[in-house]
Amino acid sequence: ESPLIIAIDGPSGSGKSSVSKAVASRLGVGYLDTGAMYRALTWWCLDQGVDLADEAAVVAAAQTLPLELSTDPDDQRVGVGGSDVTVDIRTTEISSQVSRVATNTGVRPILQQAQRDRMAAIATATGGVVAEGRDITTVVAPDALVRILLTASEEARLRRRSAEVHGTADEEAMAATRDQVLRRDRDDSSVSQFTVAADGVVTVDTSDLGFDESVEAVLAVVASRV
Ligand code: C5P
């Protein structure tokens, strides 16, 4: 029986991470958060005093990144060289710097290959994998059995991000979130085309869906493919 490989791409605030984890959990397969890999590399470069503008130095860091990622969707832990950075990689500082690492053209093939290797290992161990990011459906795993683009309107994405980061979606929090989210979308736009579905990729728009409904919508796409 061929492993259940599910690739999910989308912009921040689409619900991508929480929905992907819930889908992996429901299906009893492992999970890979590729954004966490770019974030961990960014954290490590800053920790080691690597200048993010020094492209060769960042590539060297990518080649030797001592990354530990749990594959359990219900217990996501990220470690770098023995330090638990699960929380540290989600700070605004990392969020505002990560695109500089992700747009480094020497870094991408290294992390993409590491992602393919991890997906294969997870699929072998658990019978499948849900991998999420920006270029999984197009570059990392274009042959995946299920490929989904999770989208949401800009308004819905900002509202969710605001609630997540600030605990509220009032006007002030929304304004602060808007700058951050739109800037990162713009910085990431050269990474890959993650707002329009590539050929054969199914779009799931979560703008008007609650969390459970989004999970069900993705599971319905999976069911239609297996
Ligand atoms: O998904 P998340 O917001 O954690 O991703 C963090 C950053 O990692 C993105 O803003 C993007 O710069 C980069 N990324 C990427 N390719 C992926 C996943 C994430 O370039 N497949």
pLDDT, tens digit, 9 for 90 and up, residues 156-168 = 999 988 888 888 8
pLDDT at 77 over 80: yes
For ligand 1, the distance from its centroid to the CA atom of residue 189, given in whole angstroms, is 11
What number of other Cβ atoms are within 10 A of residue 223's Cβ?
A: 9
Instruction: Give the helix/strand (H/E) hosting 41.
Output: helix 34-47
Instruction: Give the helix/strand (H/E) hosting 10.
Output: none
For ligand 1, the distance from its centroid to the CA atom of residue 1, given in whole angstroms, is 31
Average pLDDT value for residue range 79-107: 96
pLDDT grade for 142, boundaries at 50, 70 and 90? very high
CB–CB of 195/151 below 8 Å? Answer: yes
Q: What ipTM was estimated for this complex?
A: 0.98
Sole residue written with tokens 């304004």: 175
Average pLDDT value for residue range 73-90: 97
Indicate the pTM of the whole model: 0.95
For ligand 1, the distance from its centroid to the CA atom of residue 123, given in whole angstroms, is 22
- Ligand 1 neighbours (beta carbon < 6 A): 12, 34-35, 38-39, 98-99, 102, 133-136, 184, 188, 191
pLDDT digits (tens, 9 = 90+) for 103-133: 999 999 999 999 999 999 999 999 999 999 9
pLDDT at 192 over 80: no
**Two structure tokens written together for 7:** 């690739």
Summary mean pLDDT of the chain? 94
Pocket test for ligand 1, best of 19, 21, 34 (most atoms within 8 A of CB): 34
pLDDT at 194 over 80: no
So what's the pLDDT on residue 137? 96
How far is residue 25 CA from its own chain's centroid? Answer: 16
Task: Point out the annotated binding site for ATP.
Answer: 10-18
Measured CA to CA in angstroms, residue 163 lies from 168, 171, 173, 180 at distances of 4, 11, 8, 14
So what's the pLDDT on residue 13? 80
pLDDT at 10 over 80: yes
Nearest CA to ligand 1 atom 19: 35
